[in-house]
Structure 1
Amino acid sequence: MDEIVTITDTVGLPNQMIDLSKIIYTIRGKQVMLDSDLAILYGYEVKRLNEQVKNNINRFPEDFMFHMTKEEVKDLRSKFSTANINPKSRSLPHVFTEQGIYMLATVLNGEIAEKQSIFIMRAFREMRHFIMNNERMFERINSIELKQLEYQKESEEKFNKIFDYIADHKEDNQKIFFDGQIYDAFSLLTDIVGQAKREIVLIDGYIDVITLNILAKKNVGIHVFAYTLPSARISAQDINSFNAQYPTLTVKRTTAFHDRFLIIDGVHGYHIGSSLKDAGKKCFGINKIESVDVLKDIMSKAQQTGV
């Protein structure tokens, strides 16, 4: 049985103070949150939250969400008597990893879910900082989990060096993100999207609802032209829902591109090493494209092949 641990930093949420660190646990070597705690944060009943998950189960692979076993539930209760698990429930709790929590926000309706997901991801980031600064607390964790924490520390240190450098070299045209830095990659991409004054062109073969969450950070009145593969998991309903709140989005299908490109107002372009929906899950880079002629060629190719 994996040892279950928490941290003690406090994260502030709008209109209230909730100690998220006390409801983030480590189970099976992964940092997770219980469905019951997430239901409170997102303003849902547990039953309704899990119904939404069931209706979108293809979006929740095992590294995003899994059922606890009876042994894990028993172990959690023995170590944390305040764990929010209903002893009368016949169902075993779902737990969600950081990626699963972000995906959960995309299938739940309401502004609360969207805002709270950002604060929760910040809490996960603070947790990684805590792990880095408190190694001795984890000496009793089994060797597999300890290796994972050491890897997180190494990634965090590399990440901090990169962003210290970026802070001192704001005009650099390359940025690197290390695996696990989902919130920070999300922040940079939304900053780029927010710079658009006229239009956004996105070429990404695997556009889905996570991608739409990034595009939703655009300014009002900005038109988005998105080009993706025919097999991309973005439905007409997803597009219509987006347009109802953040008009307007036009999605076309094309097989002409392998790489991902984000072009702002036809003059600022970025070559992105990861699909936007996966940004931060693995190490990837973002490179600025200086040539406006190259950007015009890319947009022309997209317009010619998109259907």
Structure 2
Amino acid sequence: MELSVIHHKIFTLREQRVMLDFDLAMLFDVETRTLKQAVKRNMDRFPEDFMFELRREEWKELITNCDSLSATVKFSPALPFAFTEHGVAMLSSVLRSRKAIQMNILIMRAFIELRNYTLTHKELVDKIKGLEARYDKQFKDIYEALNYLIQEKQNEVKPAKRQRIGFKKEEE
């Protein structure tokens, strides 16, 4: 399975990157209810920072924003669990299947790849902000210099009308 497939199943909820239980169940090749049962039997392994249940309004917003969710998932009466990176790692110890371990490794790689991308992206944003600040100062200096020249031109004393000297053409 390609990492890009997994990337599309990672969402940001409550300022954390998470995967939803039905996506994990599909990747681990188990039923969603089986995954949820295993988690509920081992709740002590899943603190709030590893896994949480979505609130109704979070779920509605996610359904609204994600076209890729299937109809069976969208209209399910049960709210899904959201697993953080650490929760996904803990899932492989709960499910204990060869497929779960292999998929867990791929999912961890996807999370790491996303984290590295985010860090690289943040570095680029910081560099751009630095350049903007530097160039903003330079443009401000140029703007001030132009304003100074305009003010000088406006404040320049215009000579009074005076008699022209030199050859004068007679008017007829």
* Structure-2 separation of matches of 1:33 and 1:111: 20
Residue matched to 1:114: 101
Residue matched to 1:43: 29
* 2:60 aligned to which of 69, 74, 85: 74
How far is 1:17 from its partner? 6.8
- TM-score (normalizing by structure 2): 0.66
Corresponding position: 1:91 with 2:78: yes
Identical amino acids, percent of aligned pairs: 39
Residue matched to 1:131: 118
* Structure-2 separation of matches of 1:40 and 1:86: 12
Aligned CA RMSD, in angstroms, stands at 2.2
**For 1:101-180, what aligned pairs fall within 5 Å after superposition?**
101-135=88-122
How far is 1:83 from its partner? 3.2
How far is 1:82 from its partner? 1.0
Change (3 A) 1:61 1:17: closer
* Structure-1 separation of matches of 2:93 and 2:63: 30
* Structure-1 separation of matches of 2:74 and 2:65: 15
Q: Note the alpha carbon deviations across 1:243-284, whole angstroms, 9 max, x for none.
A: xxxxxxxxxxxxxxxxxxxxxxxxxxxxxxxxxxxxxxxxxx
- Consecutive unaligned residues of structure 1, counting only runs of 5 or more, are 1-12, 139-307
* Structure-2 separation of matches of 1:31 and 1:46: 20
How far is 1:18 from its partner? 5.5
* Structure-2 separation of matches of 1:105 and 1:62: 18
* Structure-1 separation of matches of 2:87 and 2:55: 18
How far is 1:81 from its partner? 1.4
Residue matched to 2:39: 53
Change (3 A) 1:87 1:54: same
Bigger CA radius of gyration: 2
Q: Specify the SS of the correspondent of 2:7.
A: helix
> Following superposition, which runs of at least 4 residues in structure 1 exceed 3 angstroms of deviation?
none
Residue matched to 1:33: 19
Between structures 1 and 2, the one with greater strand share:
1
Larger RCO, structure (CA 8 Å, separation 6 or more): 2
How far is 1:29 from its partner? 0.7
* Structure-1 separation of matches of 2:63 and 2:54: 12
* Structure-1 separation of matches of 2:23 and 2:60: 17
* Structure-1 separation of matches of 2:119 and 2:75: 38
Aligned length: 124
- TM-score (normalizing by structure 1): 0.38
Change (3 A) 1:29 1:50: same
* Structure-2 separation of matches of 1:81 and 1:134: 26
* Structure-1 separation of matches of 2:100 and 2:69: 22
Contact 2:63/2:74 (CA < 8 Å) preserved in 1?
no
* Structure-2 separation of matches of 1:122 and 1:42: 15
- Consecutive unaligned residues of structure 2, counting only runs of 5 or more, are 126-172
Q: Which amino acid is the alignment partner of residue 79 of structure 1?
A: N
How far is 1:56 from its partner? 0.7
